[in-house]
Amino acid sequence: MYGAIFIPRGVEKFVERWYNINKLLINICSGDKVIRYIKANKHVLYFVLLAAFAGFYFLSEHLFSLQYHSVWVPLDDKVPFIPAFVIPYILWYPYIPAGLLAVYLTDRKAMTKQAWILFSGMTVCLLCFLFFPTRIDFRGDTSGKDIFSMLCRIIYGSEDSVNVFPSMHCYEATAIHLSTFVSGPLKNKVGLRIGSAVLTVLICMSTVFVKQHSVVDIVAGCSLAFLSFAAVNIIYRLRGVKK
């Protein structure tokens, strides 16, 4: 006769929560429930729009045959290649949807303003990629055996060195920070605001330290973010809209 199998309480709780989450997702994704949910929560479409922009970016990078202009300034040769900066570079990927999600869960009315700030500049970026396509012709030496060099090799292998001006990494990170923590609903969350500011700066720095962008791309991306932020705020103020 076999004895009972002992399952640690922590594992049991994890399995139970995982089962409940999967059950919830199945219920949400079942037919009419999706449509009803979207109708009741129309702001969720901003996440769809973000995915659509990402898809169009992929098309412009891989499917369109474009004549690229090389971007380079002498300062680029003086910026060292620091593989460790691949970490904040990668953190950009969850940071953007996380910023949208934070406002979605906090103040959905404010999310419309956030979307105007974010997507207006992203549209400008994509137009630049189509009508003034750019590339860089310099990258770092990723032959090292450390984890950071390995991650850089993955980034280099998955992302072509094109569509660099202005930097989407810098634009989106700056726009999300400004629209969420400077004028957004989380502006009074000092800890989150400081953490977001630090991460945004590190993301912008990472684009040149992992040799994915020129210094010019950073300046253009951040400038565009501040311009979009200012323009949308002016429009809202003129129209008398508080959020």
Q: Summarize the confidence of residues 128-147 as an average pLDDT.
A: 91
Give a yes or no: residue 126 inside a domain.
yes
Which uninterrupted H or E stretch holds 70? strand 69-70
Do 191 and 174 belong together in one domain? yes
Confidence (pLDDT) at 42:
80
Give a yes or no: residue 243 inside a domain.
no
The better pLDDT of the pair 106, 61 is held by 106
Do 180 and 146 belong together in one domain? yes
Do 55 and 12 belong together in one domain? no
Cα angle: 235, vertex 105, 232; to 5 degrees: 10
Do 107 and 18 belong together in one domain? no
Confidence (pLDDT) at 3:
47
Do 99 and 208 belong together in one domain? yes
Do 148 and 106 belong together in one domain? yes
pLDDT band at 39 (very low <50, low <70, confident <90, very high): low
Residue 225 contacts residue 121 (beta carbons within 8 Å): yes
Provide CB contacts within 8 A for 181, sequence distance 6+: 187, 189, 192, 193, 196, 197
Of 46, 55, 194, 25, whose CA–CA distance to 109 is shortest?
46
Do 13 and 83 belong together in one domain? no
Of 40, 183, 171, whose CA–CA distance to 110 is shortest?
183
Do 138 and 56 belong together in one domain? yes
- For the chain, what is the domain count? 2
Do 6 and 107 belong together in one domain? no
Do 89 and 203 belong together in one domain? yes
Give a yes or no: residue 70 inside a domain.
yes
Give a yes or no: residue 118 inside a domain.
yes
Give a yes or no: residue 17 inside a domain.
yes
Percentage of the chain exceeding pLDDT 70: 80
Does the pLDDT at position 216 exceed 80?
A: yes
Do 159 and 214 belong together in one domain? yes
Confidence (pLDDT) at 10:
54
Which structural domain, as residue segments, surrounds residue 174? 43-238
Do 129 and 140 belong together in one domain? yes
pLDDT band at 7 (very low <50, low <70, confident <90, very high): very low
- Would you state the structure tokens that stand for residue 20, as one six-digit string? 């409940």
